[in-house]
A and B are shown apart, each in its own frame.
Chain A
Amino acid sequence: MIGGFIMQTNRRQFIKTAAVATTALSVAPLLASCEQAPVNLTILHTNDVHSHIDPFPANDSKWPLQGGFARRAQLINDIRREQEHVLLFDCGDIFQGTPYFNIYKGKLEIELMNKMAYDAATIGNHEFDNGVAALATNIKRAQFPFVCSNYDLSGSGLDGLTIPFKIIRKGALTIGIIGLGIELDGLANPKSYEQIQYKDPIKEANNMAQHLKQEQGCDLVIALSHLGYQYQDDKVSDVQVAKQTKGIDIILGGHTHTFMDKPDRVINMDGDEVIVNQAGWGGIYLGRLDLQMKANNQKNVTLVNSIYHV
């Protein structure tokens, strides 16, 4: 874009360019008054905790004595003490997997997540395991929102209980949260999700991200997804959503119980990088993303140049 200036060879245009540049320089002191310092943001996330309230038993073949809600809470406390801006999310399948869920129907999981002050969660397929009415009871119990951008819940028992997006402000940052649910057909008992209409996650995510970036002024859009990291076939996944949309910066995933060594970095429709991450399952790991957010000065140059051509 800066090339636009250099390419102006005739003298008249050079004068104009110089005039604009001078004006731009003269407002520099104005800029200083609203100068943006970098902001650090820490994003913590869990997925597929599957009611593992207690650490895994000592005789577990893979994760003996690992995980557990009370430990996770302590870890989160420690990180919140160290960092100014912390967000905590869950990407679905909070429920089902230990007798705690079978006996208490999800009450304990939600109450403990309230205590840990989760900022938002999305709905996983196992959230439907005891039917819509039981899920509605649990959502009402939650002090954090369930964000769901691609289920049409109108007329179902969940109508009005979830939100299509959430905007969170941390310091100077405006952060938009969307939630992507998996197609329930074949995964949940049809009786438990009747009247819930699944909508194309790619289309809904794209529309919602554009809205959040362009109309709501979000600096960052985070998708909480229960679609799954990626599949052998064309089935919609976090990687597919990342590739086929614009405006999403981070996808925190679940469903495929994927343990990652490092996050995937996928290029989206705008050529921008999308961070795709997941933190295994069972509450064995806490995912932690530390972002440094800087003001985007590149934009100013671009705009001055485009005005010159008017």
Chain B
Amino acid sequence: MKFFKVHIISLYALLIIAFSACNSSSYKISNSEVNYILIDSLVGYDQGLEDEIKPYRDSLKAEMLKVIGTAAEELTGGLPESLLSNFVCDLVLEESRSLKATVNPDVSIVNVKGLRIPISKGPITVESVFQLMPFENELVYLTLSKQQITELFNFMASVGGDGIAGASFGIKNKQAVDVKVNGKALEDREYVVVTSDYLADGGDHFTVFQSAIAREGSGLKVRDAIVQHIQKQTSANKNIESQLDRRIYHAD
């Protein structure tokens, strides 16, 4: 009996040892070393891949150099309002209004800091629009209360103004005064603001957007809105222009 028991145990041991020794699942990491290899000119390059890329690069360059419109004047950014931010905010409001039957935004906001270069007088290339708006930001609709709209404009007043369309206000003691939306004083209702997802997420200190009552994506990127608007103007034989209309002004 005693012998039998030992025998069984031995058999088990043999089987288990044999199995675990030859089993493929018995490897473990015994040592690991990590490197981050900087990919710079010292690496050299793969000629085959380079040959594959070149026709795309050449054709992309040609695409980027395409002229999509003409600017009648130079549009530059600045505060409290600017030709550049007024142009972009006006077109954002217009393009986003024709996007959805159910959503009709009252106000558009695009931060002037996000418009990276001026639009030069003369031909406008695809590339220049990529330089103006290198970010992949999408337009989103935010529903804000009257109180939140007031908070929003007060914030914009406190930083000396920014890009806006559909509304106007003066800046007095860093507060927004004589606020108007679509030419009318604020009413006790909800307002829809169209802006970039970057600002909607609280970027550039637009934190009030984070507590919006509702948020809906548009599927349209800011850059694509700019490109399609310029193309429409060109089709209608219009040059690109903008004006300063005291939508934000110093009331001190």
Contacts and interface: CB of A to CB of B under 8 A. Distances in A.
B25 A218 contact: yes
Interface residues of B, number: 55
Interface stretch (B13-21, B172-180, B229-237): B13-21
Contacts of B17: 24, 27, 31, 300, 303-304
A126 to B, nearest CB: 8
A303 B134 CA distance: 61
Contact of A20 (B13, B23, B64, B217): B13
Interface in B14-55: 14, 16-18, 20-41, 43-50, 52-53
A45 to B, nearest CB: 10
A229 B33 CA distance: 19
A77 B16 CA distance: 42
B6 A16 contact: yes
Contacts of B43: 71-72, 74-75
A289 B36 CA distance: 9
Interface class of chain B by DSSP: helix
Interface class of chain A by DSSP: mixed
Most A CB atoms within 10 A — which of B6, B27, B48, B64? B27
Given A73-B49, A219-B26, A287 B6 contact: no
A74 B36 contact: no
Interface string A207-241: 00000010001111000000000000000000000
A230 to B, nearest CB: 18
Contacts, number: 206
Contacts of A68: 39, 45
Interface string A296-307: 100110011001
Contacts of B10: 19-20, 23
A140 to B, nearest CB: 19
Interface in B51-89: 52-53, 56-57, 59-60, 63-64
Contact of B28 (A34, A108, A294, A308): A294
A4 interface: no
Contacts of A263: 34
A71 B12 CA distance: 55
A15 B28 CA distance: 34
B151 interface: no
B64 A74 contact: no
Interface in A64-109: 65-75, 77, 96-97, 99-100, 103-104, 108
Contacts of B35: 287-288, 290
A218 to B, nearest CB: 7
Contacts of A69: 49, 53
B183 interface: no
A32 B70 CA distance: 80
A123 interface: no
Contacts of A112: 49, 52-53
Nearest to B12: A307
Interface stretch (A143-151, A156-164, A196-204, A276-284): A276-284
A74 B43 CA distance: 7
A191 interface: yes
A286 B36 contact: yes
A108 B40 CA distance: 21
A120 B187 CA distance: 56
A296 B56 contact: no
Contacts of A279: 36
A127 interface: no
A100 to B, nearest CB: 6
Contact of B39 (A71, A172, A173, A300): A71
B33 A290 contact: yes
A307 B47 CA distance: 60
Most A CB atoms within 10 A — which of B17, B50, B57? B17
Given A70-B50, A112-B52, A310 B39 contact: no
Contacts of A307: 9, 12-13, 16
A193 to B, nearest CB: 11
Contacts of B38: 66, 284-285
B136 interface: yes
A299 B26 contact: yes
27 contacts: A16-B6, A23-B10, A30-B21, A31-B18, A31-B21, A68-B45, A70-B49, A71-B44, A73-B48, A99-B63, A99-B127, A100-B56, A108-B53, A112-B49, A126-B136, A172-B27, A191-B217, A219-B25, A259-B36, A283-B39, A285-B36, A285-B38, A288-B35, A289-B33, A292-B29, A304-B13, A310-B12
A-B residue pairs, 5 tightest by C-beta? A73-B46, A23-B10, A219-B27, A294-B30, A70-B45
Interface of A: 15-16, 19-20, 23-24, 27, 30-31, 34-36, 38-39, 53-55, 65-75, 77, 96-97, 99-100, 103-104, 108, 111-112, 115-116, 126, 129, 172-174, 189-192, 213, 217-220, 249, 259-260, 262-263, 275, 277, 279-280, 283-296, 299-300, 303-304, 307-308, 310
